[in-house]
Structures are given as C-alpha cells and as structure tokens.
Structure 1
Amino acid sequence: MTAGRIISRAVWAGVALVLGYVALVAAANLTANEIPVRMSPAPEGTARVAQEPLQITSWNLGYAGLGADSDFVADRGKMFLPPSRAAVARNLASIQSTLSGFDSDVLLLQETARPGLMNRGVDVLGGVRAALPDYEMFFSSDIRTKLMPRPLSLEHGLAMMTRVEAPDPRILRLPEEPQAMFGIVRRHYHTQVLELEVSGRPWTVMNIHLSAFDEGADVRLQQLRAVFAIAQEAYAQGRAVVIGGDWNMVLTPTSFAHNSDQSALFWIHDFPRDELPEGWQVVTDPSTPTVRTNERPYHAGENYTTIIDGMIVSPNVAASDVHTLNLGFAASDHQPVTALLRRTD
C-alpha cells in the first residue's frame, strides 16, 4: 500500500470518528430528559425561623455574561459569547457584591450557570454560593449538555437560595419548546416549588423562568397556564402563594426612554391579564426597569427597557416595599426585584 493511500485511509477514518462522535453527542442530548439537581446545605444552626413579612428577591443573573458591555446574537446583536473571561469575572464580582447585600429570606435566581461556553469557563454558580454562605442552595438545570468538553458545555438553570427553615424544594415540569437549541439541546423548563411555614402558616414559593423566543409567545402562554394551575392548587389548600422570576412578558405598562429599533423588540409580548386568576395580583416596582434589550451594549436612554421580572401573589397575600435595585445593567441584562409579603387572611 502506498503512503498516499495510507494517509487517505487515515483521514477518512478520522472523519468517520468525528462524525460518529457528533452523532453520539446529538443523540445523547436530544434524548436527555432529566433535570439534574445540585444542592448545598446551609451551615448547621444558621437557618432562621421564617416570620412575616417574608422578604423575597428575584434576579436573572444572565449567567454573568450579559453585562453592560455585551450584546447577544439571539437578540439581533453581534456577540455569541461575552467579550472576555475577564468581563465575566468582573460581572460575577459585581453580582456577588450585590447578593451579599441582601437580607432576603428567599432569593429566586434565574440563569445561574456552571463553568461552560456561555460564561467562558467561569463558575457563576460557585460564585453565588460563595457570596451567600448562610443560605441553602438548590440548583436545577434547564439547559445541560452531555458528552461535551468543559469549554463547549452548558449547564444553566434556576437557583433557589433559602435562609429560613424549610424542606427541600421540588421540581415540576412546564411545557417545552418544540425545537432544540442549536439543533441538539433541549431546554427543560420547570418551576422550583418551595413549601414552608411562615409565622406558623403554610406558604408556597415558586421560582420560574419562562420561554423568550417562542413564536407568538405561544409556549409562554402554555407555561403560564401550567404555572397558574400549580399555584391555584396550592392556594386551594389554604396556602399563601408567591410566584417570582423572569416572566419574559411585560408585567406592567412602561414608557422608559429609548431609541431602539422596533426590530429589537421582536420578543416583547404583554402579560395576558385575562389569564390572571381572579383576586391574584402582579407585584412590580413601576419606577425602574428590570430588563434591557441586547441588540447592542447598554447605554442609558438608548436600549429599550421594560419590566418583565417580578412576582404574582395569591389573593391572601399583600406586598409592600416593592423595590427594583437600579444597577444600571452593569453586570446583567436584568435587575433584582425585592418585596415584603404578608398574609391577609
């Protein structure tokens, strides 16, 4: 056999191996259906008894990759990845500083992430854990790749951080988008559900992150109805219910200054008020936006901003001191919302 034929066969064998690996990765990810969970308990003796008012904060961290200097290709921007690993590290340090300043009983976090592609290998979840040492951590991934090396892997999801005595949260699935991300990864939408006693009475707290890029917000509507079905069942049992997170729908009308082109608002849809169960209330701070568009890096008064993050509470809950912390979208494309909550019955 000539040297040329040996080289040719070796090349084709290599191509076959690569194609086989790609097929294996695609099959493993397309068929994966589990929602992996990571838990880390609070130090013994640090959990406090939950008392009213219950303080809850919700914040989408943007996997520390969507600071003010970033745009994102899915939002009609140019970048697929953050500008640099150093930029992600700066964002995470800012997020840690903000988180450590909260005294909330429960923090509902979205787009937390293990080291991987979209955060250039920075351990965002580990950084969150380090910033909140007295909290119990419950992380569940809605996006997770299999058989992919760390530089290319994804493990993003919801984190519920709890500083009060409570059992472990549970996971309930929500409707999913029909298409796989990048053609090979399915996003497993779900809600984290925490059932606890507050001042001796039963409460349910839910953490959600609904779909953003579904055509016509059809999947969002299905997810919303599923969330309300879960919440109404809890309310019917005599529980006070709080649903917090990133709804990816405009929760209250806004008119913040901007000069974004209409094309950047393609994913923006109003919250369907006719779907809100009777007596339930939307809890937001109307004075401060919670999200900005990512078609370009952030500049105040230029990017479109609105309110899609907040809480919805059952008829037996009253909210007070609702406040969105204005961070200038420095470290994330979302801003944290905090509220004090009490039962009214």
Structure 2
Amino acid sequence: MKKLVKWLLILLSVFVLIIGSYVAYVLVDYHRIPDNQTLTVTQKAPKGKLSTNHNYRIATYNIGFGAYLPDFSFFMDGGKSSWAKSKKSVQYAVSSAVNTIKKEKVDFALFQEVDLNGTRSYHVNEENLLTKQLTNYSHTFAINYHSSFLFYPLTQPHGKNTSGLATYSRYPITSALRRSLPISTSFSKYLDLDRAYAIHHIPVTNDKDLVLFNVHLSAYGNSDSIRKAQLAMLKADMEKELAKGNYILVGGDFNHNLKAKEGDKSSVTWAYPFPRSSLGDDFTLAMDSLSQAELENLANSARNTDTSYVKGKTYTVMLDGFIISNNIKVNHLTTKETGFAYSDHEPVLMDFQLLD
C-alpha cells in the first residue's frame, strides 16, 4: 500500500511539474508585437495615382486561415475542430477564396486571418497563395499575432500560429504602418492574442492620399471597455488623416453586428451592435448609404461556427464592411454569396469614388 501511495505521489508530482512548466512557458513566451511598425511594401502595381470622380472597387474577406469549409465547426465557438481538415483543404480554401476576389477585378483587396505558419493550417504560407494569383498588385503583410503553443484542446492542440492582414492594391502604396490595438489584460489575452490594423497611403492626383485601413477587431474575451478603446484608437488615426485632407477608407472584420441598431440586444456575445454614434459627423458605415430595399437584400457576411453550415438554419450576421470619410461616395455595395464555401465569412465588395 505504501508503495502504491508513493508511486501515485510521484505521478502527481510529475503531472504538476509538466503543467507548471507549460504555464511558465506560456507566460514567459508571451509578448505583444510593438506598436507603430513600418511595413514592407512589395511594389508591383503597374498604375499611377488615383483620380477623383472615378469608380474604384474594393473587397474585404476574412479567409478564416483556410479552415472553414462548410462542414467545419470551431472549438472556441462550441464546435469540434481546432485544425483545418488537411493541408490540401487549406490550399483549396485559400486558393478558391482569392480566385473569387480575382474574378471581381478589384482595385484593392483586404484579407484577414491569413496564416503564415500555423499548426492549425498545416504550416501553409497563405500569403504566398494570395500573391500568386494577385499579380500586378502592390501588397503588404501585417502580423496580427504570433502565439505560443496552445496545448488545447488536448485531442487536437491549436498549437503555435502566426497570422495577419494582407493588403493588395493596383496602385502604388507609398507607405504602410502596423498599429497595435488595445486588448484584454486578463487571461483571455492568451486566446484572443494580439489585434492590429494596417494603414496604407496611396497617392491621388490632387496631392492628397487615399488612406486605406485593413482592420480586424477582437472577438473572443473582449469587453465593453476593450471594444470602446479599440474603436477610439481607430477613429483617432482616421481623424488625424482626415485633418490633412486625405480620403479615409477602413475595411475589414469589425466583429460587430453592422446591421443592428445601437441599443439592440445581441443574441451572441461576439457580435454586439456597432456604435455608429461613435463615428461622429465625418465618418459613416458605407452600408448606411444603401436604400432600405438594398439593405434588406444585403446578405450577411459571417456565420456561426458552432456547427456545420446549413443554409437557412445557421445563424449569420453582418460583421464585415467599410467605414468611409465624407469625401468618398459609395456607388455600390454587396456581399458576394458563395454559400460560405471557403470561409466562415463571405467577401464584401464596394464600388466607390473619391470626391473633389
């Protein structure tokens, strides 16, 4: 009996040592990416400066690290999987997603959740897959986060992942900057990790710039204070650029319900109504330029991933879109419906022009 107790104590000690060592590794390895990082611009755009009163097209697409085929459900939303189905499925999903955008002949493309090197995506460099199809575009990549090895769930650890924001432009990008968003300081930061947006300057013939933001706001573990702080920081940068006379276009995954009215109750904790009033008089959600009929026909851009996607049954919501300054006119805005074939998000497209 004493030997049994002794061995049990030894096993317990080993278990505690392993858990303690892992917790120590996560705590020591964790660090935020520094703010105000200058981004490298790969300059391939064949065109010159932008012009006023000319129609341009932009797309934003959260590609969900190439995992979210229609039958995929995610463990952090109550689903089953932590990794994509296979390396081939990642390559298929990302290549199909970017091909969908390529067919739209966009002038600008904003992508979120693009993995460079991730356990969850079989270490496929997804930026390379995007760039391979979007030739003749200048582009940047801003790392959103690089995580420590997450040993959860135990049956399929989410692992170590580096993911970010990829931005493409048919017009030369003269400068680009990564900004670090405020995030939770509680334990949830180890799940939601870093959040960022990327700012790009694209010259216009009137000596102003189109300032293009690619943004991905927090979803998991955020709070009212974090949501407000992130939007306040974003708006401050928008106002700074507008004060210079520039054109401001913010696109991406806002992780807010863009269709809901302020004060509406959210049926899910990760899609609170977007606080339109916080934008002030100089900025608006681009979708607010739509007529009531157009708004009613605007398909939602994201699905819940607690189960596989079932059309007409799975909860969907409008998380993706654009904020514009009052010197930009929206000509058309739509959600490109794929049936969530390649991601848990759908691409959102907008035609716009810069006003004199």
- Tell whether the structures are fold-level matches, with TM greater than 0.5: yes
Cα 1:341–1:335 shift into 2, 3 Å:
same
Question: TM-score normalised to the size of structure 2?
Answer: 0.81
- Structure-2 residue corresponding to 1:259: none
Cα 1:96–1:272 shift into 2, 3 Å:
closer
Cα 1:243–1:333 shift into 2, 3 Å:
same
- 1:153-182 Cα deviation digits (max 9, x unpaired): 21011111122022131122221122355x
> Aligned AA for 1:196?
I
CA drift of 1:215 comes to 4.5
- Structure-2 residue corresponding to 1:46: 46
- Structure-2 residue corresponding to 1:92: 94
Equivalent in 192, 195, 202 of residue 189 of structure 1: 195
> Aligned AA for 1:31?
H
Distance 2:192 2:323 in 1: 27
Any stretches of 5+ residues in structure 2 without a counterpart? 1-10, 151-157, 288-293
- 1:231-254 Cα deviation digits (max 9, x unpaired): 112112211111111111111249
For these two proteins, the number of residue pairs brought into alignment is: 329
Q: Which moved more, 1:237-246 or 1:185-194?
A: 185-194
- Structure-2 residue corresponding to 1:125: 127
Distance 1:215 1:312 in 2: 21
Name the SS of the counterpart of 1:57 in structure 2: strand
Any stretches of 5+ residues in structure 1 without a counterpart? 1-10, 255-261
Q: Which moved more, 1:134-143 or 1:263-272?
A: 263-272
Distance 1:76 1:218 in 2: 25
CA drift of 1:329 comes to 0.4
CA drift of 1:39 comes to 4.2
Equivalent in 209, 215, 227 of residue 220 of structure 1: 227
Distance 1:76 1:23 in 2: 24
Cα 1:62–1:264 shift into 2, 3 Å:
farther
Matches within 5 A, 1:143-292: 143-145=145-147, 152-180=159-187, 184=190, 187-200=193-206, 201-253=208-260, 265-284=268-287, 286=295, 287-292=298-303
> Aligned AA for 1:140?
A
Q: Could you tell me whether the CA contact under 8 Å between 2:178 and 2:197 is conserved in 1? A: yes
Name the SS of the counterpart of 2:130 in structure 1: helix
Distance 1:238 1:49 in 2: 16
CA drift of 1:292 comes to 0.7
- 1:72-102 Cα deviation digits (max 9, x unpaired): 1111222222233332232123113213223
Cα 1:23–1:73 shift into 2, 3 Å:
closer
Name the SS of the counterpart of 1:179 in structure 2: coil
Cα 1:304–1:19 shift into 2, 3 Å:
closer
Distance 1:177 1:237 in 2: 32
CA drift of 1:294 comes to 0.6
Q: Could you tell me whether the CA contact under 8 Å between 1:59 and 1:337 is conserved in 2? A: yes
Question: TM-score normalised to the size of structure 1?
Answer: 0.83
Q: Could you tell me whether the CA contact under 8 Å between 2:33 and 2:145 is conserved in 1? A: no
Cα 1:277–1:75 shift into 2, 3 Å:
same
Cα 1:121–1:263 shift into 2, 3 Å:
farther
Cα 1:58–1:184 shift into 2, 3 Å:
closer
Name the SS of the counterpart of 2:110 in structure 1: strand
Q: Percent identity?
A: 22
* Structure 1 vs Structure 2 CA RMSD: 3.3
CA drift of 1:226 comes to 1.1
Distance 2:209 2:91 in 1: 39
Cα 1:139–1:25 shift into 2, 3 Å:
farther
